[in-house]
A and B are shown apart, each in its own frame.
Chain A
Amino acid sequence: MIGKSLYLGEKIRLTALDVEKDASTLSKWTDQHAFDRRINFGMYRLISEYEMKKLLADKLKKAEEGGRELYFAVRLVSEDDLVGLAKIMDIYAANQVGNLQVDFGEPADLLRYGDELVEMMVRYSFMEISLYRLQAFCSAYETDLMALLERHGFMKDVQRREAVFHSGKYWDTYIYGILRGEYLYLEEVRAK
């Protein structure tokens, strides 16, 4: 044991995705525009359970072969149901950079479990896979996600103007970033 568990938090735990079991739940989440954009890069639409199984199987295969993507199912400590999905995407080993994506099926769960999930994922990124910079992309309408990232030390590095069309209008998108040194400093401050 070289530290506390990477996968077990107080309220939530990270597990492997179970394509057969989780596809049905993830299919229901595709009515959320932001989640759909992060799982299905094409046209915004509802994805059936059948399609989701295929999509996930393809993504997990690509992740295994390329080694540039990591997927985690987020479940409550006390239950098996899937409440969220966390990913680290587009990992550039030479630059030690990756993109964090977190999604919850119920928007209220982001407020309930988001802080713990981001804390676990940031720790995993810097302490386990040795990233130097962790990024997160989001759209201006994702105000709860933006506040969550900012609470955990992410800085708004880039503002792409009118980069995404949703609900009848254009929204800016943001790239948030946190560097390993910034994370370690925050950890030090928290420990005091």
Chain B
Amino acid sequence: MTSELFCGHLVRLRAVNREENAKAWARWNTDSDFVRNWDVRPAWLPPTSQLEEWVIEGGNDAGNFAIHTLVDDQFIGLVGLDGFDWMSRSAWVGIGIGEPEFQGKGYGTDAMKVILRYGFAELNLHRVNLTVFEFNQRAIRCYEKCGFKHEGTQREFIFKENKRWGIVNMGILRTEWEAA
């Protein structure tokens, strides 16, 4: 009954493979734009051992999932839920498509739809939150397509390239996910 739970139209979520996924993440990390698009901290190059911890745990309860293409089972990114507030039934979602050839082609949107289905239909969440930097317009469009609503911007939060940028807050409620 739930065998297709982790399956989308383009991707399938798999349990992470600690060493292989961390190795790929370390390779993607060498592109500073990759990190700058999602980490509020200054970009840097952590050792693979630290990335292994992060890949496995993601600092959270449910952990990260590896995003694989349906066609040839290639590992292309990570997606995960964390920061669960079980009284309020809310969680945070994070996603990164690292393989450049799969960026901007709907793989991230598909993976996000799969993780939202997991969050709402399996974990019984009421709300899923995310933040995204205002210069990352491609990601914002992806989240809009998945049904996330804009809920405001933390003005001038981040400092990069001698400029200040806002952090856009987005959220989706269970009723909105059901209606989509």
Contact = CB atoms under 8 A, between A and B. Distances in A.
B88 A163 contact: yes
B127 A92 contact: no
B87 interface: yes
Contact of A95 (B152, B159, B171): B159
Contact of B171 (A97, A135, A163): A163
B173 A161 contact: yes
A161 B41 contact: no
Interface string B148-170: 01011111111100001000010
Given A164-B88, A175-B169, A96 B159 contact: yes
Contacts of B155: 133, 155, 157, 177, 179
A43 B152 CA distance: 27
Contact of A158 (B41, B90, B152): B152
Interface in B133-157: 149, 151-157
Q: Interface of chain B, helix or strand or loop or mixed? A: strand
Nearest to A96: B159
Contact of B154 (A96, A135, A163, A165): A135
A132 B158 CA distance: 10
Interface in A118-157: 132-133, 135, 155-157
A133 B153 CA distance: 13
Given A132-B159, A160-B169, A161-B173, A95 B154 contact: no
B47 interface: no
Contacts of A135: 154
A157 B87 contact: no
A160 B171 contact: yes
Interface residues of A, number: 25
A175 B85 CA distance: 17
A97 B89 CA distance: 28
Given A160-B171, A161-B171, A163-B127, A133 B157 contact: yes
A165 to B, nearest CB: 4
A48 interface: no
A135 B156 CA distance: 11
A48 B129 CA distance: 32
Nearest to A174: B152
B40 interface: yes
Interface in B10-67: 40-42
B117 interface: no
Nearest to B164: A132
B88 A158 contact: no
B44 to A, nearest CB: 11
A26 to B, nearest CB: 21
Contact of A157 (B40, B41, B88, B153): B153
B151 A94 contact: no
Interface in B62-110: 85-90
Interface of B: 40-42, 85-90, 126-127, 129, 149, 151-159, 164, 169, 171, 173
Interface of A: 43-44, 92, 94-97, 132-133, 135, 155-165, 170, 175, 177, 179
16 contacts: A92-B41, A94-B159, A95-B40, A95-B159, A157-B152, A158-B151, A159-B151, A159-B152, A160-B151, A160-B169, A161-B171, A162-B126, A163-B171, A164-B85, A170-B126, A177-B155
9 closest Cβ pairs, A-B complex: A158-B152, A165-B88, A158-B169, A94-B42, A164-B88, A95-B159, A157-B152, A165-B87, A157-B154
